Structure 1
Amino acid sequence: MNSSAHRAALVGLVVTVVLIVTAVVVPALLDWQVWPRVHLDDGTFPPLHGYPQVKVGIGTLPAVLLALASLRWADPMAKRLPWRRLLLVAYAAGLVWLLALALVDGPEGISRVLGNPTEYLETARAVDDVPGLLREYVSRIPYDAPEGNWPVHIAGHPPGMVLFFVLLVKVGLGGDLAAGLVVIALAATLPLAVMTTVRVLGAEDAARAAAPYLVLSPSAVFLAVSADAVMATTVAWGLCCLALACRGIRRDVLVGLPAGNGQERPVVSGLAGLLWAVLAGLVLGIVVFMSYGLLLTGVLALAVIWLGRGWRVLPIAIASAVAVALTFAAGGFAWWEAYPVLVDRYWDGLASQRPGAYWTWGNLAALAISAGPLVGAGLGATWAARREPADRVVVVLVAAAVIMIALADASQMSRAEVERIWLPFIPWLTLGCALLPEQWRRPGLALQLLTALLVQHLLYTSW
């Protein structure tokens, strides 16, 4: 098994590196205008939304020091620390990693993206009537909206993210820097949610093995500054709730059986499962109102339910999610009415000028850069382990992530700018790194850390 995993991992890594190099080199060699240069006067660096810019900042030294320390201690700590202490260390390390990478650009590295007029925050500051916002939301998506169209990110997403930033504004955290720090604090919990989900599904060893790659992912470059980090984190915690619901509901079969002393077992676990199911449905229902593409999260949700043997959870979670949709509809925003309008706006804009012949595979190269090239090796190792019962949880979750990414890419609704759009899917794809052979672990982590440092220090990234 180890030799086959080694070969499969090597093939996956080589294919991923070739994909990245090809996506970067081909447009330059063929003078292929894969998207209009009007956006970036300094040039472009496809497949990323950015351009070359060498820089060093106040975050450089802590980022490098954390990377070096992680190579020495991340794996041993992930294997040996008690679970709760591991979660605390993972959160602290993730927080430092996110902050350090963002601060390579100085304090504006945290605030610049969210403060952009095309983002959510500026619109959120102007909202003083939430019901009115919902009622006029769909009518202001088209470019030719009589009352003025929404900025690109508001128009391209349901109102969930705008409402999140409206909430931040109302509680006094609506400044560019303050909102950025909130996003970072939330994004640092993302690995914890994924690790806990895997552990609840019965694969604690895999959760521990994946921890260094989840916490120190190159995607931190984009998580630290992007509203999509909030979406990714919400997805992960929703799936964690779903896994907890499966465990609770499954234990409910014990209710009514003798406990050995003439008493019946209590209904506590079954009730907890019910509550977790309701919460999971609410959270995952909200996710769909953060991004249209996150409807694909349903693939991962079904994978979690199947692994957790908790099919009785499904109708409860669906009912809760439907309640979220009906609440938005009652407020004036119907998801099913808005999406077709968005599709029209999307193809009326720059998407029609971005060649699908490039972006169909260029999107995947952007994913590989954001997630780090080691995910290709992880996919290879996952393929090699597909028949191993002990690796079933990781194999199924990674397969679900691959299916979601394939569906999103095939939709052609995400030509370019996907290094941030893929963020909700990347942690689940990264789980495959848990199955890498032992001799791959430290070099693989080094490759991921180096990727993050190079992207942050050599490129101006717009997200």
Structure 2
Amino acid sequence: MTLTGERRRADAGPRARRAWPGWVAVAVWAAGIAAAFTAGWYLRRAGLATEDRLPPLHAQARERPLTWTMLPAAGFAAAAVAALPPLAARLPWRALPPLAWAGAAAWTVTLAVSDGWDALAAPLHAPTEYPANLAQLRPDPLGWVRTFTERLGGYTTHVRGHPPLPMLVLWALEKAGLGGAGWAAAFLIAAGTSAAAAIAVTVRHVVGEGAARAAVPFLVLAPLAVWIATTMDAFFLAVSAWGTALLALAARRRRMRAAVPAAVAGGLLLGCLPYLSYGLLPLYAVPLAVLLLTRPRAAVIAALGAGLAAAPAAFTLLGFWWPDGVRATLGTYLISRGSAQRSYTYFLPANLAVLGLLTGPATARALPAALGTPRRAARSVPRAVPPAVAVLAAAALAGVLVLDVSGVTRGEVERIWLPFAAWPLIIASLHGRAARPWLAAQAATALAVQALVLSPW
């Protein structure tokens, strides 16, 4: 036996012992998802869960699973698993964010069109969605904002559940000549998939280029792509991700002429989050983690603060007082037949199972390494997860837990948690030489969900 062979045999035992936490995490991931769907089936059969046809998802099982129409998505996944890791490792950095964006967009679209091209815009035609209320906004947008809270009860479900900014975005698209569900769908998909580039940029400036390069394939082939098309929450994901990326960029810029504008722009985007969705407040944990990890100069923090104040000041001057909006939305939530009627006891753990579907088995596999110290990281993840990567992922997960425990997100979290679920993907990126099998597992998860589940988004 050669010396190399002896070393491999000697390392086999320790490597196996260090790998077992990851496999346990994958087993827990699979068991948790199975338990959530099984319990949901029993609750629905007993008449205790009637809001959703396939709890914990707000969806239904397909009568006939998709077959040949999944071939474009399966073909893209196979090509991406083969090509993305070497491309991410070798291409110049300036090419990687556009690659991440284009790849994520292609993956999202090929999954969605397995139901036909009409499926891209179909969700926005629903009577509960935002476009159904555009007619009330068009005559007097300023008056609509000013009286938004008072007239909340007369709006559609999604408008009642959110502040006014999402509707104003659709109105602005229409004014720009991009009206209609088709343009809105294209905008939401383009925006949501751009988050892959934004998160890669953030990881590069906070952690390092090596970690960002390794993250790109997993950001592209994320299982959450199933729900990017077509939901307004994809736009929320983009705004939060680019706001955080601009903050990270500003924190690392040496020249203040470049740092200050980036900080202001990042603050503008991040300041919009509470006016896009009330449930995005816990997501501020991620930019806060960036601040703690980068420790930017005082001028950058001041510029960030100025940007953050812009949206609250503008909406307050226009007549929308955010705390009143929260109270009015809570009132309609409590008297509605929607989420407030769902079981808190069931959805508290079941929502976390949905998070598992969004992030995939590769994230679960890397989680023990992220929770441990680099010195004790599993050998099956050769490049130990840098502490900064773990902090960014943990910040997003903390936000999810806050929402989950609060009980305001009971069901439909497959779309609501998109802005949070994209960040834990970065710990799945550091599987080293074992990246391809886990990247394939991510793609297989998305393909299975799309083939078996019919979602309204």
Relative to structure 1, the CA distance from residue 138 to residue 93 in structure 2 (aligned partners, 3 Å threshold; closer, same or farther) is same
1:141 equivalent in structure 2 = 152
Deviation at 1:378, TM superposition (A): 2.8
Distance 1:137 1:190 in 2: 30
Counterpart Cα distance in 2 of 1:309 and 1:344: 40
Q: Could you list the per-position Cα deviations for residues 86-112 of structure 1 after superposition, in whole angstroms to 9, with x for gaps in the alignment?
A: 223222222211111111111221011
The answer for the alignment partner of 2:5 in structure 1 is none
Report the counterpart of residue 270 of structure 1 in structure 2. Answer: 256
2:329 to 326, 329, 342: 342
Q: Distance in 2 between matches of 1:392 and 1:398?
A: 10
Q: CA deviation at 1:16?
A: 1.2
> In 1, Cα distance between the equivalents of 2:134 and 2:369?
44
Contact 1:184 1:223 in 2 (8 A): yes
* Paired amino acid for 2:58: H
The one-letter code sitting in structure 1 at the alignment partner of 2:203 is: V
Say if 1:4 and 1:410 are closer, same or farther in 2 by CA, change over 3 A. farther
Distance in structure 1 (CA, Å) of the matches to 2:41 and 2:283: 35
Alignment of 1:298-313 (within 5 A): 298-310=284-296, 312=298, 313=300
In structure 1, the residue matched to 2:354 is: 366
Compute the displacement of 1:228 (Å). 0.6
More helix by share: 2
State which drifts further: 73-82 or 228-237: 73-82
Name the residue aligned to 1:45: 54
Q: TM-score, normalised by structure 2?
A: 0.89
1:310-321 paired onto structure 2 within 5 Å: 310=296, 312=298, 313-321=300-308
Which residue number corresponds to residue 255 of structure 1?
Answer: none
Distance 1:190 1:34 in 2: 37
Q: How does 1:193-272 map to 2 (within 5 A)?
A: 193-248=198-253, 251=254, 269-272=255-258
Q: Distance in 2 between matches of 1:64 and 1:290?
A: 34
Structure 1 counterpart of 2:173, from 165, 168, 179? 168
CA distance in 2, matches of 1:6, 1:170: 55
Q: Contact 1:5 / 1:381 at 8 angstroms: preserved in 2?
A: no
The 8 Å contact of residues 160 and 290 in structure 1, kept in 2 or not, is answered as: yes
Q: Distance in 1 between matches of 2:166 and 2:289?
A: 26
Work out whether residues 245 and 276 of structure 1, in 8 Å CA contact, stay in contact via their aligned partners in 2: yes
Alignment of 1:93 onto 2:103: yes
Segments of structure 2 that go 5 or more residues without pairing to the other structure are: 1-13, 378-383
* Alignment-derived partner of residue 72 in structure 2: 62
1:430 maps to what in 2? 425
Looking at structure 1, the residues matched to 196 and 294 of structure 2 have their Cα atoms a distance apart, in angstroms, of 20
**Structure 2 letter corresponding to 1:339:** V
Q: Which moved more, 1:177-186 or 1:413-422?
A: 177-186
1:106 matched residue in structure 2: 116
**CA distance in 2: counterparts of 1:246 and 1:292, whole angstroms:** 27
Residue 93 (structure 2) aligns with: 83
Mapped contact 2:355–2:414 kept (Cα < 8 A) = yes
Question: Please, which moves more after superposition, 105-114 or 231-240?
Answer: 105-114
Equivalent pairs counted in the alignment come to: 432
Q: Is the 8 A contact 2:40 2:49 kept in 1?
A: no
Which segment drifts farther, 181-190 or 419-428?
Answer: 181-190
Instruction: Specify which of 170, 177, 183 is matched with residue 178 of structure 1.
Output: 183
Contact 1:10 1:380 in 2 (8 A): no
User: Aligned partners of 1:154 and 1:352: how far apart in 2?
Assistant: 17
Quote the Cα distance in structure 2 between the aligned partners of 1:366 and 1:311: 39
2:385 touches 2:427 (CA, 8 Å); kept in 1?
Answer: no
The secondary structure found in structure 2 opposite 1:189 is: helix
User: Is the contact made by 1:8 and 1:383 (CA closer than 8 Å) also made in structure 2?
Assistant: no
1:155-196 residue CA offsets vs partner (Å, 9 max, x unmatched): 101111111111111122221122111211222211000001
Look up the match of 1:18. 31
Which runs of structure 2 are paired with 1:441-452 in the superposition (5 Å)?
441-452=435-446
**Residue-by-residue CA offset, 1:113-132 (whole Å, 9 max, x unaligned):** 11212111221254221111
In structure 1, C-alpha distance between the alignment counterparts of 2:387 and 2:224, rounded to whole Å: 25
* 1-structure distance, mates of 2:94, 2:439: 23
Which region of structure 1 is more displaced relative to structure 2, 88-97 or 339-348? 88-97
Give the partner amino acid of 2:305.
I
Identify if the C-alpha distance between structure 1 residues 384 and 169 changes in structure 2 by more than 3 Å, giving closer, same or farther.
same
Q: Is the 8 A contact 1:184 1:224 kept in 2?
A: yes
What's the offset of the Cα at 1:274?
1.4
Is the 8 Å Cα contact of residues 152 and 328 (structure 2) preserved in structure 1? yes
2:342 alignment partner, one of 354, 379, 383: 354
2:192 is the alignment partner of 1:190 = no
Moved more, 313-322 or 289-298: 313-322
Q: 1:437 to 1:22 in 2, by over 3 A?
A: farther
Within a 5 Å distance, the mapping from 1:110-121 to structure 2 comes to 110-121=120-131
Superposition deviation, residue 58 in structure 1: 8.2
Match of 1:328 among 291, 309, 315: 315
Q: Distance in 2 between matches of 1:15 and 1:111?
A: 36
Deviations 1:386-429 (A, max 9, x none): 67897022011011111111111111111001100010011111
Contact 2:344 2:410 in 1 (8 A): yes
**Residues 247-277 of structure 1 deviation map (CA, whole Å, 9 limit, x = unaligned):** 12xx3xxxxxxxxxxxxxxxxx112211111
Measure, in 2, the Cα distance between the counterparts of 1:5 and 1:287.
Answer: 41
2:335 and 2:432 map into 1 onto residues whose CA distance is 48
Contact 2:222–2:442 (8 Å) recurs in 1: yes
Summarize the Cα distance change of 1:295–1:315 in structure 2 as closer, same or farther, 3 Å threshold: farther
Q: CA RMSD in A?
A: 2.1
- Return 24-33 or 426-435, whichever deviates more: 24-33
Unpaired runs of at least 5, structure 1: 143-148, 252-268
1:363 and 1:416 in contact (8 A); partners too:
yes
Counterpart amino acid of 1:26? A
